[in-house]
Amino acid sequence: MSSIREVTEEKDRIIESDWMKARNHHQGNDIIIMTHNYYSTMMSHHLMIQKKDGNDQITNFIKQLFGNPNLNDKSEIAFEKYIYLSEIYQSVCTGSQAAFYRSRSGVNGTMGSLYWQLNDVWTTASWSSIDHSMRKKPLHFKISEIYADPVSIFSNQDETSDIFSIFAVSSLDFDIFGNLKLKIFNWNSINFEPLSEVEFEKIKISKNSATEILKENVIKFLNTNKCPYGATGDCFITFELKLDSNSAKSESKILESWHSPVPYKNSIPFSSKIQTKLVVDNDSCRVDEKTKMITFDVVASHPQPFVWVESTIVGGDFEKNNILISKTKTKFIWNPKQNQKAETNNCADFIKSLKIFYPAMVGF
Full set of structural domains in the chain with CATH: 2-145 (3.20.20.80), 150-270 (2.60.40.10), 278-362 (2.60.40)
Coil, strand or helix: which one is 91? helix
Report pLDDT for 72: 83
pLDDT single digits (tens) 64-76: 999 999 888 889 9
Query: Mean pLDDT, to the nearest integer, of 103-132?
Result: 86
Cα–Cα dist 236/186, whole Å: 6
Instruction: Give the pLDDT band (50/70/90) at residue 355.
Output: very high
Average pLDDT of the chain is 88
Residues 327-347, mean pLDDT to the nearest whole number: 84
pLDDT the model gives residue 41:
44
Distance, CA of 359 to CA of 204 (rounded, Å)? 36
Degrees to nearest 5, angle at CA 60 with 58 and 61: 65
Q: According to the model, what pLDDT value does residue 42 have?
A: 46
The reported pLDDT for the residue numbered 313 is 87
What average pLDDT does the segment 33-53 reach? 52
Which of 110-114, 213-217, 221-225 bottoms out in mean pLDDT, i.e. has the lowest? Answer: 110-114
pLDDT tens for each residue of 278-319:
999 999 999 998 988 999 999 999 999 999 999 988 888 999
Q: Look at 64-68, 189-193, 341-345 and tell me which has the smallest mean pLDDT.
A: 341-345
Between strands 209-217 and 163-170, the pairing is antiparallel
At 37 the pLDDT is: 56
Distance separating alpha carbons of residues 110 and 100, to the nearest angstrom: 10
209 pLDDT higher than 90: yes
β-strand pairing of 294-300 with 235-243: unpaired
Q: What percent of the chain has pLDDT over 90?
A: 64
Give the CB-side neighbour count of residue 56, counting CA atoms within 13 A: 11
pLDDT category, 192, cuts 50, 70, 90?
very high
Does residue 219 register a pLDDT over 80? yes
- Lowest model confidence (mean pLDDT) among 115-129, 232-246, 348-362: 115-129
pLDDT-derived band of residue 264, with 50, 70 and 90 as boundaries?
very high
Which of 41-55, 176-190, 320-334 is predicted with the least confidence, judged by mean pLDDT? 41-55
What percent of the chain clears pLDDT 70, i.e. is strictly above it?
89
Contact 343, 314 (CB under 8 A): yes
